[in-house]
Structure 1
Amino acid sequence: MKQLQPFKIDVSNELLNDLSARLKHTRWTDEPENAGWNYGTNPQYLRELVAYWQQSFDWRKQEALLNSFPQFITNIDGTDIHFIYIKGKGSNTRPLILTHEWPDSFFRFYKVIPMLTDAFDLVIPSMPGYGFSGHVATTSENAGHLWAKLMTEVLGYTHFLAAGDFAVTTALAQNYPAQVQAIHLTDTGYPNGTEDWSTMSPAEQQFGQFIQGWWFMEGAFNMIQSTKPQTLGYALNDSPVGLASWILEKFYAWSDTKGNIENSFTKDELLTNIMIYWVSSTINTAIRRYLEDARVMFGEHGPKPVPRTEVPTAVSIFPADSNTPEEWAARRVNLKRFTKLPKGGRFAALEVPELYAKELKDAFAAIA
């Protein structure tokens, strides 16, 4: 196993003072009357959160929380990779790498760590271009290659399990089936226009219609991040309130909030995730991953069929996320276990940690 460099988050007072000044001098835009979340981020809630950010939020407390987990930096193929690494309790634990998505961070998993260490050695990296990893935008497939080297060459495992982000986790499993014993997903991707819909079940066709409608109503973020992310990056990297607005709306829309975002997340949790992007100045490289992936998926001749993942796979569907039918999951992966949960959404590990942790344990016990 290669030598690991211990890592501690230590944000300078100068950066925090600059943030305080920027928040104080926010130039607020006009707001539709009684807008709620119907125009995007709720203006009333954003103002409330920013007031809390200025007056009550304690970054040093959250920094200490993050630093309570053992963190490391290693360099793989020229890219610095930041990760949490916690050996499990006992002699029968199995290595598990957990990959976050956008617009969250490695912080997504902080609640489930103590729930999983009785069964797993946990490896929780920051994606390249996110948080405290190197400021390099890369494809999901390349992230999978980096994860394989992290697990085998850096940490010395011959076999391991993987869960989290669909694109990274399936790329990892497709390229390293001899090392990846099984994977766990909370979605199996979406139609991209290459499918033969005459072969689809009624449930799959209904799912396809839902996704098509979703793209028209909710997909603008993906379109800009997949085509012109640099244009957006300047604004998000310069304005903390702009960054918060862009991220908050997704946490609300993709979670089981039932009309109140704080049914799912505390203000401290929302702001800690936002702060990881702010203090590391990585929102631009994070959103550029969408364009890097789009260039691979579409190329010069339109979309390419998504390869099926043959590694044994468990899929857990949370109701506020996409309502993936079992037939679609079985079409995309080697489906060994499929469950639908009563609550939760895209950020299930943070929103409903007990359910998510139990799903991981039950899934991997059953299929690997």
Structure 2
Amino acid sequence: MDEDTALTPFRIDIPQADVDDLRDRLARTRWPIPVPGRRDRTDFRRGIPQVYLEELAGYWRDGFDWRAQEAELNAYEQVTTVVDGQTFHVVHARSADPQATPLLLSHGWPGSFVEYQRLIPLLTDAFHLVVPSPPGFGFSTPLSGTGWELARTTDAYAGIMTRLGYGRFAAHGTDLGAGVTGRLAALHPERVIGTHVGADPRWLGLVGDRIPYPDGLSADEIARIEAVRAEDAAGRGYLELQSHRPDTIGPALTDSPVGQLGWIAEHFRSRTAGDDRTPDESVDRDQLLTTISLYWFTRSGASSAQFYYEAEHAGLDLLMPSGVPSGYAVFDTHPLLRRALDPGKAIDHWSEFTEGGHFPAMEVPELLAGDIRTFFSSP
């Protein structure tokens, strides 16, 4: 039997009982007994400080307006469609220009389609924007089964673009979405106009793990790269747990909103620019809490963790060569990143910005939009 390829209109409408339950759970949080001396809300050396987490949870309970955020998200056309048995949620923001370029925007964890909320209006004059949620993320739930990793997701995204009527398209991605973007170009070069990736210094961790250091680096330069890798490794406990024991952390994220809040908010501190800033000083507080609320309401804290397990055990190459034009926008730039990732300068377009970090669409959407425009308008 052929698969149903229908595109079903979708609107976000979280039951009021779920909104009330969230507030009730937050009000009844069973907090740890504070460790004496741990009262600095900006000291993240041991993880997210409880004093800051209590402050953020209080705002989530009493100040955050989910219905207002829901209404803003519903301003965009959304559909669901089933690919290979899995339901996918897709935001489809069409340009008023019928000749606009289709642009696929892919995100990773702990992001969501909300990540691109402020980027969309900066690009719709020139692009038809398509933002799918990966399997197990947001409204691309529940998971239909095991085996949803990067390669299978990439094939599904290509199928979604076909269903939307886009034979050829451009692609941008960050985090896991950068892997999807690269695989699309490698596997479907006849369809992909170009690929644009948002990166940050944490990519230096990929160099030692996946790619040999280029020749000619001095001992001092290697030491500087290793320092970034060591700093990144200090915050990788989540990666090890989700890659190897997602079923262990899943129930805690599903049952405790403060657990889900801390699990995600801490990563908006460790992955954004500025060591002296709290997560909601790097990105908008309401947009951050909208993302976390989405994980909470859809129970995708548990199901999104499965993606890491599948990726860890799939044995896929992280980077795949292709002849498709490629562009990188590097935020919170590091002087050695290009030498490490692109020693032969094979990447067609390389931009570096001192601002921003791992979530440029949330941190510096104007810079990201400008770089996307520049790259895809180049001859």
Q: Does 1:60 align with 2:67?
A: yes
Contact 1:204 1:328 in 2 (8 A): no
- Partner residue in 2 for 1:366: 378
Q: Contact 1:126/1:132 (CA < 8 Å) preserved in 2?
A: yes
Distance, in Å, in 1 between the alignment partners of 2:322 and 2:348 is: 12
The corresponding residue for 1:316 is 329
Matched, 1:158 2:143: no
| 2:331–2:357 CA contact under 8 A, matched in 1 | yes
* Cα RMSD after superposing both structures: 2.4
**C-alpha displacement at 1:107, in angstroms?**
0.2
Q: Contact (CA 8 Å) 2:207, 2:341: kept in 1 or not?
A: no
User: Does residue 46 in structure 1 map to residue 56 in structure 2?
Assistant: no
Q: 1:254 aligns with which of 258, 261, 271?
A: 271
| Matched residue, 1:301 | none
Correspondence for 2:114: 107
Matched, 1:26 2:29: yes
Q: Distance in 2 between matches of 1:327 and 1:3?
A: 46
State the 1:198 CA deviation. Answer: 6.3
User: Could you tell me how far apart the structure 2 residues matched to 1:24 and 1:323 are?
Assistant: 46
Q: Does 1:84 align with 2:102?
A: no
User: 2:342 is matched with which residue?
Assistant: 330
2:354 to 324, 328, 342: 342
2:9 maps to: 6
Instruction: Report the TM-score, using the length of structure 2 for normalisation.
Output: 0.88
Three-state SS of the structure 2 residue aligned to 1:182 is strand
Instruction: Tell me the SS of whatever aligns to 2:378.
Output: helix
C-alpha separation in 1, matches of 2:33 and 2:190: 56
Whether the aligned pair in 1 keeps the contact of 2:179 and 2:319 (CA below 8 Å) is: no
Of residues 135-144 and 271-280 in structure 1, the stretch that sits farther from structure 2 once superposed is 135-144
Task: Report how far residue 195 of structure 1 moved.
Answer: 3.8
Which aligned runs of 4 or more in structure 1 are off by greater than 3 angstroms? 192-208, 304-307, 331-334
Q: Structure 1 length normalisation: TM-score?
A: 0.90
Q: Write the distance in 1 (CA, Å) between the matches of 2:282 and 2:365.
A: 11
What does 1:123-162 align with in structure 2 at a 5 Å threshold?
123-136=130-143, 138-152=148-162, 154-162=163-171
1:174-231 per-residue CA deviation (whole Å, 9 max, x = no partner) reads: 1111111110012395135454446364598456524531343122111111111110
SS class of match (2:253): helix
Matched, 1:17 2:20: yes
Partner Cα distance (1:289, 1:219) in 2: 16
Shift of 1:266: 2.7
C-alpha separation in 2, matches of 1:323 and 1:132: 39
Structure 1 equivalent of residue 281 of structure 2? 263
Distance 1:306 1:67 in 2: 35
Aligned residue type for 2:279: I
User: Structure 1 residues 178, 204: closer, same or farther in 2, change over 3 A?
Assistant: farther
- CA drift at 1:326: 1.8
CA distance in 2 between partners of 1:24 and 1:332 (Å): 55
Partner residue in 2 for 1:223: 240
In 2, distance between residues paired with 1:334 and 1:233?
Answer: 41
* 2:325 partner SS: strand
Could you tell me how far apart the structure 2 residues matched to 1:207 and 1:146 are? Answer: 39
Q: Which amino acid aligns with 1:34?
A: R
Question: In the aligned structure 2, how far is the partner of 1:159 from the partner of 1:84?
Answer: 18
Change in CA separation of 1:198 and 1:268 when aligned onto 2, cut-off 3 Å: closer
Match of 2:181 in 1: 169
Q: CA deviation at 1:102?
A: 0.5
Deviation per residue, 1:81-105 (Å, 9 max, x gap): 1111122122431000001111010
Which amino acid letter does the alignment assign opposite residue 23 of structure 1?
L
- The amino acid of 1:256's aligned partner reads A
Superimposed CA distance per residue, residues 141-179 of structure 1 (whole angstroms, 9 cap, x where no aligned partner):
211111100112x11211111111221111222111111
- 5+ residue gaps, structure 2, are none
Structure 2: distance between partners of 1:160 and 1:68: 24
Cα pair distance change 1:235/1:200, threshold 3 Å: farther
Aligned residues: 360
Query: Aligned to 1:89, what secondary structure does the other structure show?
Result: coil
Match of 1:191 in 2: 207
Identity across the alignment (%): 32
- Structure 2 CA distance for aligned equivalents of residues 146 and 218 of structure 1: 31
**In 2, Cα distance between the equivalents of 1:280 and 1:305?**
28
